[in-house]
Amino acid sequence: MLSSKALVKLFYDQKCRPALKRLENPAAAQEKCLRRILKHNKGTVYGKEHGFAEIKSIEEFQRIIPLTSYQSMEPYIDRCKQGEQNVLFPGDILYFLATAGTTGTSKVFPLGWKRVEEIILEGALMGTFFLVHTGCYEVMDGLMLTIAAPPSTGEKFGDYDVAYLSGAMSNLSLPSELGKYQRSLAGLGRYRVPPSEVDRITDWGEKFYQTARYAVAADIRYASGVTANMVALLLKIHSEYYERLLADSELDNETKTKLRRVSKDGIIDLRKLWPNFCVFGSGGMSVTQHRRIIHDLLGDCYIWESYSTTEASIGIQIYPDKGIIPVVDFTFLEFIPEGEKTGEPIPLCDVKRHTPYRIIVTNNAGFYRFDIGDMVTFSELDPPVFGEISRRTSLVNIVGERVSEEMLLRALEQACEQQGIAFVHFSLLPEVTKEITRYYIFVEFTHPPEDIDEFVGIVDTYLRSIGLYYDSQRQNGVLSPPVIIPVKPGGFDLVLQQLEKVPGQAKVPRLISLELSKLIPRLKTAK
């Protein structure tokens, strides 16, 4: 029987090396990817209506198939809700997936086996690349910490439950081959904490605590999940749960003794609690704002990233010294230069560095030339590496300043770095009057700045240094310096609850909408 390390290397030779080889010619890899998608889905309702069987090239595909949005897909999704099969993809519908509703009302999409397969293989590739390219095989001897949504939101369409992606994935009975990959991820995190019964808890406050009970007793070496969820969990273990854990009659005395040894003044030192911790797997959002918090809590660990949405697997980190690289085998990618409303989408092989693009996806999950609402740039081209990844709706351009979410993230990160603090969430509210135009930036800090004026100055200066248009509007007086409003820990979660969104699944909107602005007085703003 092969050892775990030998199995990892075998998987690397069988799956990862060919994937790296295909990256050397992304144009050919993407064309093959598109052909596979069209062939697999030609017998669906959508495929027959749009002539998938007759499409022979990328150019034909782009000419015949229109760009799609959730609104244009709704008639097909409604047919799926009524129980009709083979509408957007062949095979059975397993679940309806709910999105976080970042830009408005939560959306739902049908989930099929092909998307499940992509998610699991993406995780296996990501884990294998990490192990082989870092040599950090000791992570395989410990446990993986994660936190998943419940397997149902309580809503149903006919016989089908509605769930968030993590909840659906945790509750599926997988075919043997996929089950093997999910259990091992090619050796990374073979055993997970907490057990599956905790996944089914619907109260997120109780779910966080029960996860923590298992985590403090375990040799955690790897954490993975939606970044915001995992950081929230780590912060709660670090600074909120000590007294509750010691008073917990079901927690064994050995673990309580360990907690006393690694704690001071009710604060648990996670680096001492999990001395073998090696890697934080980040997904679901940009990790930029959380890097400092992760390293402050867990020490000098690897942060290994992926770019995956409910709709599509788009990219994973392959090397320690590079960012996220497109997964050219799962999703056919197109890019529209931002600002060119009538611009023609271009394939991956034609993108340029540092140019902002809208990203369009086509895959076996039933999305065809679908605009996922994200903006991306590329920092490198050989191989292509994603630079900035942000939500397109978060672009602030009230007076032509063209400030993106990633720019704001970097500015806040720079200010936090200089003041030795960190932040968890932020949201921005533009103010436009006859007298003044400026940003109110609501920031949930782990510890508020000692000098808020200095903090504002650093943010403003950094935005001016990286934003030509922002600097121009600041110079001519059209745009005033921003105002930073600290929010106490948990403030944004309270607002999400008021909006009837699930904290831990719903993302904090980067731009404060009219709906959200009405709840600003309910934010627990710090003095």
Residue 124 and residue 251 share a domain: yes
Q: Are residues 409 and 291 in the same domain?
A: no
329 found inside a domain:
no
pLDDT at residue 342 above 60? no
pLDDT at 524 over 60: no
pLDDT of residue 341: 56
Last residue of a domain, one of 306, 333, 354: 306
Lowest mean pLDDT among 184-193, 386-395, 448-457: 184-193
Q: What is the pLDDT of residue 292?
A: 83
Interior CA angle at 406 toward 401 and 410, to 5°? 100
- Co-location of 403 and 507 in the same domain: yes
The answer to whether residue 340 sits within a structural domain is: no
Q: Is the pLDDT of residue 343 over 90?
A: no
Average confidence score pLDDT of the chain: 87
239 and 125 in one domain? yes
63-114 pLDDT, tens per residue? 999 999 999 999 999 999 999 999 999 999 999 998 765 444 568 999 999 9
Cα 143 to the chain's mean position, in Å?
22
Q: For position 42, what pLDDT does the model report?
A: 97
Q: Which residue has the higher pLDDT, 285 or 494?
A: 494
Which of 256, 283, 306 is the last residue in one of the domains? 306
Question: Is the predicted pLDDT of residue 496 greater than 60, yes or no?
Answer: yes
Residue keyed to tokens 């992926």:
306
Same domain (yes/no): 133, 239: yes
**What Å distances lie between residue 328 and 186, 219, 423, CA to CA?**
20, 35, 34
Q: What is the dihedral of CA 287, 316, 308, 338, to 10 degrees?
A: 80
Percent of the chain exceeding pLDDT 90 equals 56
- Identify whether residues 251 and 128 lie together within a single domain: yes
pLDDT of residue 133: 95
| pLDDT the model gives residue 501 | 64
Distance CA 245, CA 242 (A): 5
CA distance 330 to 15: 13
The CATH number for 482's domain is 3.30.300
Same domain, 284 and 143: yes
Rounded CA separation 433/418 (Å):
32
Average pLDDT estimate for 477-497 = 84
CATH number of the domain residue 256 falls in: 3.40.50
Amino acid at site 269: D
Residue whose pair of structure tokens reads 């808890």 in the numeric block: 201
Query: What's the average model confidence in pLDDT over 118-122?
Result: 89
**Mean pLDDT within 376-397:** 82
For the segment 440-460, the average pLDDT, to the nearest whole number, is 92
Q: Output the pLDDT for position 17.
A: 95
In angstroms, the first-to-last Cα distance of the chain is 62
> Looking at the structure, do residues 414 and 294 belong to the same domain, yes or no?
no
Longest dimension (CA), the chain: 75
Q: Show the CA angle centred on residue 260, arms to residues 258 and 265, nearest 5°.
A: 145
Which residue bears the tokens 């935005």? 463
Identify the weakest region by mean pLDDT among 210-224, 260-274, 466-480.
466-480
Q: Is residue 142 located within the same domain as residue 265?
A: yes
Residue 49 lies in a domain: no
CB under 8 A, 24+ apart: contacts of 283-286: 283/224, 283/225, 283/226, 283/227, 283/307, 283/308, 284/225, 284/226, 284/227, 284/228, 284/308, 284/309, 285/226, 285/227, 285/228, 285/507, 286/389, 286/390, 286/405, 286/406, 286/409
At 184, the amino acid letter reads S
Task: Say if residues 317 and 306 touch (Cβ distance below 8 Å).
Answer: yes
Residue 378 clears pLDDT 80, i.e. is over it: yes
Q: With bands split at pLDDT 50, 70 and 90, how would you rate the model's confidence at 330?
A: very high
pTM of the model: 0.81
Contact assessment for residue 216 and residue 255, using Cβ atoms and an 8 Å cutoff:
yes
271 shares a domain with 128: yes
Looking at the predicted structure, is the pLDDT value of residue 188 above 70?
Answer: no
Identity (one letter) of the amino acid at 277?
F
Are 519 and 435 in contact, with CB atoms under 8 Å apart?
Answer: no
Has residue 432 got a pLDDT over 90? Answer: no
Q: What is the predicted pLDDT for the residue at 104?
A: 45
Return the pLDDT at 435: 83
* CA separation for the pair 88, 489 (Å, rounded): 42
Instruction: Give a yes or no: residue 436 inside a domain.
Output: yes
Is the pLDDT reported for residue 395 higher than 90? no
Residue 44 lies in a domain: no
Please compute the mean of the pLDDT values over residues 104-126 and round it to a whole number. Answer: 86
Structural domain including 419 reads: 395-522
Is residue 527 situated within a structural domain? no
The answer to whether position 33 is within a domain reads: no
Compare 389 and 522 and report the one with higher pLDDT: 389
Q: Are residues 240 and 143 in the same domain?
A: yes
146-150, 151-155, 250-254, 307-311: which is most confident: 250-254
Confidence band, pLDDT 50/70/90 cuts, at residue 514:
low
Count how many domains the chain has.
2
Asked whether residue 279 falls in the same domain as residue 400, the answer is no
- How confident is the model at residue 462, as a pLDDT? 93
Q: Which of 264, 282, 306 is the last residue of a domain?
A: 306
